[in-house]
């Protein structure tokens, strides 16, 4: 990732994509042998880099729209039994970026089951997914939804369906199912402190048995808390 960011910085220093920079970027991608998920993460980092260079919200919105169109034109993911697994760790940006990438890749549905959401950057991505027509559902716990910084109420105000656990126990899951094809799960709370301070983890996997298991758990809790 560091080599990728260095090349991007050089490219945008003069806003020209030269032959040598193209070759350098190609060598990095080839040497690292990035898989589909990693390339998607790189594309997201690319758009984030460009988005930061615009001062006007209208310009940033146009770029976000372009990114969404590109994702629509890309092949849709398919449920498989390849047992692809990726791991990400915090502190640092890796877990948060992995979550944002998965949300951005969603084509039809996004089922989120997390204890709390208070990282505005993740909340913004969920809002973008909802705005582009993705079917979003969120399950969360009642203990944190009224905390300062909690975004659960904000997400609900967007019209996103939210089911809340009001029992004496905790709905302490931290997982999401994307397009019923991919599972994202781990200890990582969807908060800023998890990215900055905590030792946390996320895994992303796409085998059918695991996806079916998480979807079954989501539907069970959705029926219980709705």
89-129: per-residue pLDDT in tens? Answer: 999 999 999 999 999 989 889 999 999 999 999 999 999 99
CB under 8 A, 24+ apart: contacts of 127-130: 127/155, 127/158, 128/64, 128/68, 128/103, 128/104, 129/103, 129/104, 130/158, 130/159, 130/160
Q: Which residues contact 214 (CB under 8 A, 6 or more apart)?
A: 175, 177, 183, 185
Q: Is the pLDDT of residue 176 over 60?
A: yes
pLDDT of residue 12: 82
pTM over 0.75: no
Q: Which CATH architecture has domain 85-225?
A: 2-Layer Sandwich (3.30)
Summary mean pLDDT of the chain: 87
Q: Write out the two tokens for 84.
A: 């692809």
Are the CB atoms for 160 and 136 separated by under 8 Å?
A: yes
> 145 or 58: whose pLDDT is higher?
58
Residue numbers annotated as active site: 172, 174, 179
Alpha-carbon distance of 126 to 133, in angstroms, equals 11
Q: Which run of H or of E encompasses 66?
A: helix 57-73
Alpha-carbon distance of 226 to 220, in angstroms, equals 10
Are the CB atoms for 141 and 163 separated by under 8 Å?
A: no
- In the chain, CATH 3.30.870.10 covers 85-225
């Amino acid at each position: 990732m560091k080599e990728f960011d260095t090349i991007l910085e050089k490219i945008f220093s003069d806003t020209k994509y030269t032959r040598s920079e193209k070759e350098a970027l190609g060598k990095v991608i080839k040497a690292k042998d990035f898989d589909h998920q990693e390339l998607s993460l790189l594309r997201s980092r690319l758009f984030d880099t460009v988005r930061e260079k615009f001062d006007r919200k209208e310009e940033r919105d146009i770029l976000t729209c372009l990114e969404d169109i590109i994702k629509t034109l890309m092949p849709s993911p398919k449920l498989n039994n390849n047992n692809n697994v990726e791991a990400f760790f915090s502190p640092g940006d890796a877990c948060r970026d992995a979550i944002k990438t998965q949300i951005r890749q969603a084509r039809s549905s996004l089922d989120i089951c997390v204890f709390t959401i208070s990282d505005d950057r993740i909340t913004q991505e969920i809002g973008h997914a909802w705005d582009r027509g993705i079917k979003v559902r969120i399950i969360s716990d009642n203990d944190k939804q009224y905390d300062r910084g909690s975004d659960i109420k904000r997400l609900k105000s967007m019209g996103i369906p939210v089911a809340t656990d009001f029992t004496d126990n905790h709905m302490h899951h931290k997982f999401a199912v994307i397009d019923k094809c991919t599972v994202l799960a781990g200890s990582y709370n969807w908060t800023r402190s998890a990215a900055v301070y905590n030792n946390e983890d996320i895994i992303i996997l796409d085998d059918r048995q695991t996806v079916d298991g998480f979807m079954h758990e989501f539907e069970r809790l959705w029926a219980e808390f709705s």
